[in-house]
Structure 1
Amino acid sequence: MRHVAVLGATGSIGASALDVIARHPNRLRASVLAAGSNVDALLALCARHRPDHAVVADARSHAALRDGLQALGLATKAHAGAEALDALAAEGGSDTVVAAIVGAAGLDSTLAAARAGKRLLLANKESLVLAGELLMAEAAQAGADIVPIDSEHNAIFQCLHGGGAHGGVQRIALTASGGPFRGRTRADLARVTPEQAVAHPKWSMGPKISVDSATLMNKGLELIEAHHLFGLTGDRLDVLVHPQSLVHALVSFVDGSMLAQLGLPDMRTALAVGLGWPQRLASGVDALDLLAQGRLEFEPPDLDTFPCLRLAREAMDAGGTAPAVLNAANEVAVSAFLQGRIGFLSVPALVEQTLAALPSCPAESLAMLRDVDARARRHAESAIASGAFA
């Protein structure tokens, strides 16, 4: 029996993880469920999955969670606050942790799980973008098994390990759907609304990740992740726009072979791989019917219309603190866009301006990265407040 802590249980990835877990009651059990502040949603999940522990990041919600669990007659223990979340990621009776908390808020709990030597199903891309070298070193030292569950990195994982291919990698290509604005010009994007930006054509995701997909920043962050996960330099990492979203990644080898992983766009496939590997588990996702899908198309990304991908690659090449600045500025910019405070095209403009204002320096410690993250956020917020990015 694998005991699983689902961090970010009330989000879309958490829901997919719990769906897979519920399909295998004799092999998988949700022992810890964690959420940000949505106590009602967390209580509903606890009623269904009956975990040993439930935790909300918002310490003010502890009483509501505790009383709600008692009212439901559940033995689940209530916890609240960041320290409790980190402790449960490391302990909590789990051997597997689904790290699906969005944004920099998920960094500490992800590191805690890695240091505890857990199997880490990693969806929190900021952990690698902010502190990739640190996370990979901690995981290696503790013997933690990292299985990425972003569809693209999971596809690479499958190509590298499922086919017995452990050497001779020449290049890796991540695929991108192109988002909801593929084929548009910059002029077309000047009046994009948040509602349009979160309407992804293929994937069901939260608003922040959906906007990142629309700007192609999501793919840029994934490049940085792949650099750390698979130990490849930027010149061996490519991005291909593939609007059908059926081929999730391609791995080229020195012998001329190329392996690709295909499947319907459903996060449950990657989660089933992470939860069951090296065995395969039924995920609830239908088999791919290539005849029904028709043609598969590939094209290069438009870096002029979607400069976030270029900015992410530049930050990856610069290394040091640059990816942390990129990520922090992007989080501020996306939040401001979703609130209607800035326009869609101002997102990459704000990120580029923040990168220029805070040049990269060596990332010597987690404390330093946190300081850089905070400075980048303050700079971006100040720039928005100045009215320069209306």
Structure 2
Amino acid sequence: MYLKKIILAILIIGLIIGGVFVYMVYGAFFTPNTAFNNDQAYVYIPSDANFTTVEEVLTPLLKDFASFESAAQKKGYASHVRPGKYAISKGMNNNEIINTLRSKNLPVKLAFNNQETLEDLAGRVATQIEADSLSLLNAFNDADFLKENGFNEQTKLVMYIPNSYEFFWNTSAEKFRDRMFTEYKRFWNDARTAKAKAMNLTPIQVSTLASVVHKETAKVDERPRVAGVYLNRLRDGILLQADPTVIYALKLHTGDFDQIIKRVLYRDLELDSPYNTYKYAGLPPGPIAMPDITAIDAVLNPEEHNYYYFVANVENFGYHKFAKTLAQHNQNKEQYVRWINSQNIKR
């Protein structure tokens, strides 16, 4: 009888201890542990993070970090932190949070438009992924990478096609660059490459001309006509005489790409630069900006016409007046010069 009481007591104590243990485990793993009011909170874990970093990131979002740490230790997460962007939902428990941080790295939608320089691109991309602008710029300018893939200092900008892409937030600079090269090759599919070849142009030359077209007009519906003008001039051996190339040459000469030049002066046309298409025949040695897809496709699908000249249309701002002869062009130009003088635009 006495032995039975001892055994019963031991069982009761065991049940109590087990209950306490279960309660503690349940509390550590399955009790809601978020402290924010929004539906979700986004967590960014850097590539070099350890559990101390996780503590710094998560503490403001949790009611009880100690219980999270206990669960993280038991599940082995504390010694296997994974970088990335994660979404923590309101009301999640520690178990759910840890499972999320282990396996649900969210992609980010990364977008960039027609940047004028790689410095601009690096700055734009650095606001959207973990890699900083300096590491991105170093990757963009890697001489071995450029040489291996057929680019140089003048043409390296063409590799970046403005668009929206999905990346993981913790993408490195080199992986971003390599992915952009993959996207560049995908963009230049057989159909586009065949069109360029039929025009006796390489993809790089098409992008270079497209950058001029892009700078000449923001009107997408006008770009095929502008492209047709320049292709007519190239075909007949006439200087392109494109003002945006002169503006780029001036910026390159001064090193100031932030300056705003609204008017090209006659003295500017004397600048000795391979980008000055008033002095040098053919295309400039590389793009003067990053053309968008509509400008590239405008060059590949130009409007066929007999225009050789165009000037801004002051009666329909944003568009241009086109001319087949120099005499017609000079008449159109006179109207534009009168307007720009009336606006007192000196530069």
- TM-score if structure 1 supplies the norm length? 0.24
Task: Answer 1 or 2: which has greater strand percent.
Answer: 1
- TM-score if structure 2 supplies the norm length? 0.26
